[in-house]
Structure 1
Amino acid sequence: MHKGSCLCGAVTFEIEGELSAPDACHCSKCRKQSGHYFASTDVERGRLTVRGAENITWFQSSEKVWRGFCATCGSSLFWDPPHREWIAVAMGAFDGPTRTRLNKHIFVADKGDYYDIADGLPQNQQ
Structure 2
Amino acid sequence: MTMTTGHSGGCQCGAVRYRTVGALGYPHLCHCRMCQKASGNYALPLGNAKRADFELTRGEPSWFHSSDLVRRGFCRTCGTPLFYDVPGTVSINVTLGSLDEPAAVQPIAQSNPAGKMPWFHALDVLPMEPDEDGSDRAVSIKRSNHQHPDYDTQSWPEEKSHE
Q: Distance in 2 between matches of 1:106 and 1:65?
A: 16
Q: Distance in 2 between matches of 1:98 and 1:49?
A: 21
2:54 is equivalent to residue 48 of structure 1: yes
2:33 is equivalent to residue 31 of structure 1: no
User: Deviation digits for residues 1-38 of structure 1, max 9, x if unmatched?
Assistant: 21111000000011111222411100001001111211
Answer whether contact 2:96 2:102 (CA < 8 A) is retained.
Answer: no
Q: Secondary structure at the match of 2:94?
A: strand
Q: Which structure: greater strand fraction?
A: 1
Q: Which structure: greater helix fraction?
A: 2
Q: Secondary structure at the match of 2:120?
A: coil
Superposition CA RMSD, Å:
1.9
Extract unaligned runs of 5+ from structure 2: 123-163
Could you state the TM-score of these two structures normalised by the residue count of structure 1?
0.84
Extract unaligned runs of 5+ from structure 1: 119-126
Larger radius of gyration: 2
Note closer, same or farther for the CA distance 1:17–1:98 as it changes in structure 2 (3 Å cut): farther
Note closer, same or farther for the CA distance 1:77–1:62 as it changes in structure 2 (3 Å cut): same
Match of residue 68 from structure 2: 63
Could you state the TM-score of these two structures normalised by the residue count of structure 2?
0.66
Instruction: Name the % identity.
Output: 37
Structure 1 runs (4+) greater than 4 angstroms displaced: none
Q: Distance in 1 between matches of 2:116 and 2:102?
A: 27
Note closer, same or farther for the CA distance 1:21–1:48 as it changes in structure 2 (3 Å cut): same
Q: Secondary structure at the match of 2:72?
A: strand
